[in-house]
């Protein structure tokens, strides 16, 4: 799975992406189909299918902390932004490698569809 997984391949730089941040455990890159002026995905480099499969306490915290730092960097922190993790079919997950969406740069509607 991890060998052919799209986001694993992006994490290994085998598939090009616009990387905005990277550390030893995480990578952040621009979404190829942006839904807002800023739309960035934060992923763990090690494969995890979905939020249901996160077996440790600090991974999602690290991902969220990276999202906050990127929001500052992108200049959207003060006006606001949204962080979203879609999980499985009803949650709208289409790529089964855990990812946190960071969306901002416009006013976002609520509730989501
Ligand atoms: P989700 O529906 O939550 O699983 O979101 C998957 C997102 O991944 C979707 O917003 C589009 C994005 N995406 C899919 N394929 C690629 C790709 O090859 N490169 C990049 N940068 N983003 C991708």
Q: Do the domain assignments include residue 16? A: yes
Ligand 1, residues at Cβ distance < 6 Å: 6, 17, 29-33, 41, 86, 92-95
Q: Is residue 112 part of a domain?
A: no
Examine the pLDDT at 105 and tell me if it is beyond 90.
yes
Confidence of residue 3 (pLDDT cuts 50, 70, 90): confident
Phi, psi (rounded to 5 degrees) for 66: -65, -40
Q: Is the pLDDT of residue 41 over 90?
A: yes
| Residue 66, in any domain of the structure | yes
CATH of the domain at 58: 3.30.428.10
Q: Which of 28, 89, 95 to mutate to test the pocket of ligand 1 (most atoms within 8 A of CB)?
A: 95
Two tokens at 62?
Answer: 């690290």
Structure confidence at residue 50 (pLDDT): 98
User: Would you say residue 67 lies in a domain?
Assistant: yes
How far is 101 from 99, CA to CA, in rounded Å?
A: 6
Give tens-digit pLDDT for 44-94: 999 999 999 999 999 999 999 999 999 999 999 999 999 999 999 999 999
Domain holding 72, by residue range, is 6-104
Question: Which residue minimizes the CA distance to atom 15 of ligand 1?
Answer: 32
Overall number of domains in the chain: 1
Which whole-number Å values give the CA distances from 75 to 15, 64, 70, 81, 102, in the listed order? Answer: 27, 17, 8, 10, 13
Residue 1 lies in a domain: no
Pocket perturbation via mutation, ligand 1, pick of 14, 41, 88, 91 by most ligand atoms within 8 A of CB: 41
Mean per-residue pLDDT, 6-19: 98
Query: Which tens digit of pLDDT belongs to each residue from 14-36?
Result: 999 999 999 999 999 999 999 99
Within 10 angstroms of residue 100's Cβ, the number of other Cβ atoms is 21
Q: Does any domain span residue 28?
A: yes
Q: State yes or no: is 99 an active-site residue.
A: yes
CA 71/CA 52 separation, integer angstroms: 26
Q: Is residue 23 part of a domain?
A: yes
- 110 within domain boundaries: no
Task: Give pLDDT, residue 113.
Answer: 85
* CA pair distance 99, 28, nearest whole angstrom: 9
- pLDDT range class, residue 1, cuts 50, 70, 90: low
């Amino acid at each position: 799975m991890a060998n052919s997984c799209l986001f694993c391949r992006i994490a290994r730089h085998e598939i090009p992406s616009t990387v905005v941040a990277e550390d030893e455990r995480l990578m952040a890159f621009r979404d190829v189909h942006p839904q807002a002026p800023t739309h960035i995905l934060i992923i763990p480099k090690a494969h995890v299918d979905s939020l249901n499969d996160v077996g440790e306490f600090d991974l999602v915290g690290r991902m969220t902390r990276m999202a906050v730092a990127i929001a500052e960097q992108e200049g959207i922190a003060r006006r606001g932004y949204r962080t979203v993790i879609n999980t499985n079919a009803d949650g709208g997950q289409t790529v089964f490698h855990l990812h946190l969406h960071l969306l901002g740069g416009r006013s976002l509607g609520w509730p989501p569809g």
